[in-house]
């Protein structure tokens, strides 16, 4: 009869948090009320953003995959070369919400793939990956989600900042 309860919420907006706090104020058994933010990999309807990864460097792919799956994004596929990247994208574009694309693929393939993806699916959000030292022209930055490239090697803080910016716009 003297039990204490801890309450954990996930993904509530400010109005919802205030309402829960108001309801809990009258209950003396609740010893802890903690709100966790909604993972950024979830859309407003609760379904995950579906992601396609394109990079020749397997280590970069591993780091991105690890970081974004922690945020509940769903990985639909990955490609390590331009030909495979475009074939998979064109066959699955209706299911892909976001693309992570290395902007430094050989033979200027990144520019070609970027243009093809943007012209093949309205509303696709492409996040560009810029390996250290790669200059990214302003016209390429302008079409990227977040309007900036994600520096490689990847750091979680920078990745999350650019993802949040790109998903908000």
pTM: 0.82
pLDDT bracket for residue 108 (50, 70, 90): confident
Strand duo 30-36 + 5-10: pairing = parallel
* Each residue's pLDDT tens digit, 19-71: 888 877 777 677 777 777 788 999 988 899 999 999 999 999 999 999 999 99
Cis peptide before 47 (omega within 30 of 0): no
Q: How far apart are CA 32 and CA 142, in angstroms?
A: 45
Please report the pLDDT score of residue 152 as a whole number: 95
pLDDT at 133 over 80: yes
Strand duo 98-102 + 50-54: pairing = parallel
Region for residue 67 given its phi and psi (left: phi exceeds 0; alpha: psi -120 to 50; beta: otherwise): alpha
């Amino acid at each position: 009869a003297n039990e204490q309860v801890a309450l954990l919420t996930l993904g509530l907006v400010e109005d919802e948090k205030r309402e829960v706090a108001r309801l809990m104020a009258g209950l003396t058994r609740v010893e802890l009320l903690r709100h966790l933010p909604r993972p950024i990999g979830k859309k407003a309807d609760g379904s995950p953003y579906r992601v396609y990864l394109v990079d020749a460097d397997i280590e970069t792919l591993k780091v991105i995959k690890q970081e974004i799956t922690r945020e509940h994004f769903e990985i639909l596929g990955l490609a390590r070369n331009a030909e495979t990247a475009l074939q998979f994208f064109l066959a699955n574009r209706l299911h892909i919400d976001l693309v992570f694309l290395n902007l430094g693929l050989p033979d200027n393939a990144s520019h070609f793939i970027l243009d093809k993806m943007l012209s093949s699916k309205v509303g696709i959000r492409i996040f560009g990956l810029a390996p250290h030292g790669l200059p990214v022209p302003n016209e390429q930055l302008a079409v990227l989600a977040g309007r900036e490239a994600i520096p490689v090697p990847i750091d979680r803080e920078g990745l999350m900042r650019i993802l949040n910016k790109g998903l908000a716009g």
